[in-house]
Structure formats: C-alpha cells, structure tokens
Amino acid sequence: MKKLILLFCFLLISSLSYSQFLAEDFDYTAGDSLGAHSWTTFSGSATNRLFVTSPGLTYTNYIGSGIGNATTLTNNGQDQYKSLNANQTSGSIYTSMMVNVTTARTGDYFTGYLPSTSTTLFTGRFYVKLAANGNIAFGASKTTAGSGGIVYGDSVFTTGVTYLMVFKYTFNTGTGVDDQVSLFVFGGAVPSTEPAPYVGPLTGTGADLADLGRVFLRQGTAASSPDLRVDGIYTYNSWDNSALPVELSSFSSAVSSNNVTLNWSTVSENNNSGFDVERSSANNTWSKVGNVSGNGTTTNGNSYAFTDRNLAAGNYNYRLKQIDFNGNFEYFNLSNEVIIGIPSKFELSQNYPNPFNPSTKISFALPNDGNVSLKIYDMSGKEAMTLVNEVKTAGYYSVSFNASSLSSGIYFYTLSADNFTATKKMMLVK
C-alpha cells in the first residue's frame, strides 16, 4: 500500500502547531438536505436546494476520497455555509476539496470564505469558467473590486474530471498591508510542501476579514455559474503534513467461510487511541462493527487484526477510522471488495456465548434452498422452543435465542434441512 503522505492526509494533534477546523465528507444518506447536517442557508432558499447526492468523489491518497457522498451545485439556487469550529484571525488558512465540473459557463464563484458575523462579505472567492479553447479555468479574487479583480489561471482543465482544489487565505498585519488569497489546483500527485499557487497571491482594496469563520457553497446566476459536484471539504491552518498520527504500511483481508479477518500494520503511531472498523454492503451505508485499541505514541511498527464473523452471503467493503486521543480521525479504505459466497455444505455452529444468560446466537450454513427447522430441546427430549421453521435460501444465517423463560440447565438445539440433521449442546446458567 502506498504511503499516505499527501496533502492533508493526517490527523491533527493538540500539542502540534496546526489544527483542523472543518471536515465535511457528506457521509450522510443521499437525498438529505445539507441543512440537516449543520449547514446554514443564507440566500436563495426557495430555489435549487442543496442536497446530499450520490456518488461521492475520489482522488488518489486524499484524506476525504471515497468517503460518503457529495453535494451538487447548479445555478440560481440556495447558498449555504458551514462554520469552522474556531474563528481564525491570524496566520494562513487552507481549505481543500474535490471538485468535478459538469458544465462551465461564463464564470462565477461557487465557494469561498465568510467572516463569522456576515453573509455578504465574501472575502476570498473561487471561480470556474468555460474558456475559449473549450477547456475550463479556475479563478480567484479577494473581493470583486480593487486591484487585480478576478484572476483566472491557465485553461488546462476539463469537465468530468475530479480535481483537488486548495484555497488559502493569509492574514497580514500592519498598516497598508493587505491580506492575501491564493488558489492551488491539482490533477495528480500533491506536493508535501507548499508549491507556487495556480492563481495568486492576490490582494485588493476591499476590506480584510476581521475573522474567518465560515466556508460557503454558492449557486450563482443562471448565465454564469457552473454545474459541479463538491466533496471532501477540509480546513486547516497549515500545509505541513510532516507529522502523521498513523502511517499505515499494509491493509488486507482474508475470508474463511463467512468470517472476514482484516490485518493491518503501521510504521509509526502518534497519539493513536485506536481504530473503529467499519463495514458497508450494497447500499453503501457504513456501520461500525468493532474497535481495536491503538498503541499511543511509538516509533515502532505494530500489527493489528480484527475478525468480522457470521456474515450473510454478499459483497462488502471495509475501512478503518483511526482516532486520536483528542477525537480527531481519518479513514483508511480497504482497496478490494470482500465477497462472501454460498456455503459448500451444511453446517451447524456452536452457539456463542456458551454458557449463556439469557441470550445466545446460533449460526448455520445452507448450501441450497429448502425447508429449515431449528428447535430447542430440554434434557428429557421435550421440545422447548422453535426458532426457525420455514423455507430459506442458500446462505449463512445467525439466529438469536432468548431463554429468559427457561430454567437453568443443559439444552440441545437441532438443525434439520433437506437430508441433513445436526444437534449440539448448550448450557443456560442463571
């Protein structure tokens, strides 16, 4: 696995000099309004509302790549902002996002910065337009007025391609010294140190920001604004990515029956609380299936493993959510899809836990469709409960058994399917 050491592919640790102020992966259900997820409408609320749209965007080795969904901007519609977790008044602020332009027009701004107390002082605006050569160009302005105005870079980009854009606002102190705005656009590998910008740095006679507190998404005028998708919005106060909380060297999977074992290794760890293991199936909804503790801070490599058991037949994706002790996190995605096939033979597994009180799970495998019964018997051979009695399709199954109405003792459970019968013993201890 490639080293994940590109722009912003890190988590931010309180003892270091850089911080994360916003992280938005649109990891919500497609069709949700952005307003349901901490975005605030400030203009155009009745037209072209902003929703979570599927699919999300991907960009090699970007921290927000392939997580959740996206949002789609058109033109002449709702505008919304999301507040940073802390207002910024000094230094440089960087916001990165993946952008895929569907249609470009004469040129308008679609994102940028706002102060914490205004929805009209767009100081730091970022644009896209259709160029004369049929390509698209991205642009920036500090405001719409003043020296420089709107400046576009070379028209070397095309529609239908996902680019990584980075917007930078720099506070400059001193009489007669203007704040600056810069724009970086990447279509390939991102350098680990800050390069010369694609556009800027720009100044202007418009007022500097008293503070930077919001990132906005805008759907401008119908004749000039683009149609595009946006995903993976992150705001930091540094380009520096020299200190990774976790550098992953490998992440792999192995399938045994209907169990999936994940193995991963780290090169080093810094402030690593641990890993949430998350799984998604065909509906692309991620859920937490387990947690593995990390090793805090260490320069030594460590190996980890987690087994996800008793899965139904189907296709699955996995990712690790690495969390530091401050609650910051980043994702590592398993590169391959995991496939659980149809079992090759009938199987009845030992219940787990065993002994139990009062609930346990019984798992079984069916290589073909047919009538299935799963029954509980007491020591005398009397039937105590029927858990399954129906036609089931081939696959893996896990059934919960609650024995709260039964007394302590030894019980037996019998699976009957086709010409197969198997019985196992279990113990209820109250």
Q: Rounded CA gap, 366 and 373, in Å?
A: 12
Domain shared by 193 and 231, yes or no: yes
**Cβ within 8 Å of residue 262, ≥6 positions away:** 251, 252, 253, 277, 305, 306, 307, 308, 318, 320, 334
Domain shared by 206 and 57, yes or no: yes
Give the sheet arrangement for strand 420-428, strand by strand: 383-392, 370-377, 409-417, 420-428
Classify residue 7: in a domain, yes or no: no
Classify residue 4: in a domain, yes or no: no
**Cβ within 8 Å of residue 120, ≥6 positions away:** none
Q: Rounded CA gap, 123 and 144, in Å?
A: 9
Domain shared by 29 and 158, yes or no: yes
Q: Rounded CA gap, 144 and 229, in Å?
A: 24
Q: What is the CATH number of the domain that holds 410?
A: 2.60.40.1930
Give the three-class secondary structure for 35: helix
Domain shared by 154 and 214, yes or no: yes
Domain shared by 137 and 267, yes or no: no
Domain shared by 168 and 24, yes or no: yes
* Amino acid present at 3: K
DSSP 36: G
DSSP 314: E
pLDDT of residue 145: 54
In the block, which residue shows the tokens 């609930």?
359
Classify residue 241: in a domain, yes or no: no
Classify residue 179: in a domain, yes or no: yes
The pTM score is 0.57
358 — phi, psi (to 5°)?
Answer: -100, 5
Q: Is the dihedral of CA 202, 208, 214, 219 positive or negative?
A: negative
Looking at 191, 217, 236, the residue that finishes a domain is 236
Looking at 215, 236, 257, the residue that finishes a domain is 236
Question: Which helix (H) or strand (E) covers residue 382, if one does?
Answer: none
- In tens digits, the chain (430 residues) has pLDDT values of 223 333 333 332 222 334 678 889 999 999 999 999 999 999 987 789 999 999 999 988 787 888 889 999 998 899 999 999 889 999 999 999 999 999 999 999 999 999 999 998 888 999 999 999 999 999 999 987 555 689 999 999 999 999 999 999 999 987 667 899 999 999 988 887 889 999 999 987 667 888 999 999 999 988 999 999 999 999 988 885 434 457 788 999 999 889 999 999 998 777 789 999 999 987 778 999 999 999 987 777 899 999 999 898 889 999 999 988 777 778 889 999 999 999 999 999 999 999 999 999 999 999 999 999 999 999 999 999 999 999 999 999 999 999 999 999 999 999 999 989 999 999 999 9
* Amino acid present at 103: T
Domain shared by 35 and 162, yes or no: yes
Q: Rounded CA gap, 13 and 70, in Å?
A: 27
Looking at 289, 310, 340, the residue that finishes a domain is 340
DSSP string over 298-313: ESS-EEEEEEE-SPPS
Q: Rounded CA gap, 404 and 429, in Å?
A: 11
CA-based nearest residue to 236, from 22, 16, 9, 17: 22
Q: Rounded CA gap, 152 and 106, in Å?
A: 12
Domain shared by 29 and 149, yes or no: yes
Q: What is the CATH number of the domain that holds 135?
A: 2.60.120.200
Domain shared by 64 and 206, yes or no: yes
Give the three-class secondary structure for 198: coil
For the chain, the first-to-last Cα distance in angstroms comes to 49
Neighbours of 169 (CB within 10 A): 24
Domain shared by 106 and 173, yes or no: yes
CA-based nearest residue to 348, from 383, 380, 372, 382: 372
Give the three-class secondary structure for 359: strand
Q: Is the dihedral of CA 227, 233, 237, 242 positive or negative?
A: negative
Domain shared by 303 and 379, yes or no: no
Q: Which domain holds residue 400?
A: 347-428
Classify residue 270: in a domain, yes or no: yes
Q: Rounded CA gap, 259 and 160, in Å?
A: 39
Domain shared by 87 and 210, yes or no: yes
pLDDT of residue 175: 65
pLDDT of residue 11: 30
pLDDT of residue 384: 95
Classify residue 3: in a domain, yes or no: no
* Amino acid present at 350: Q
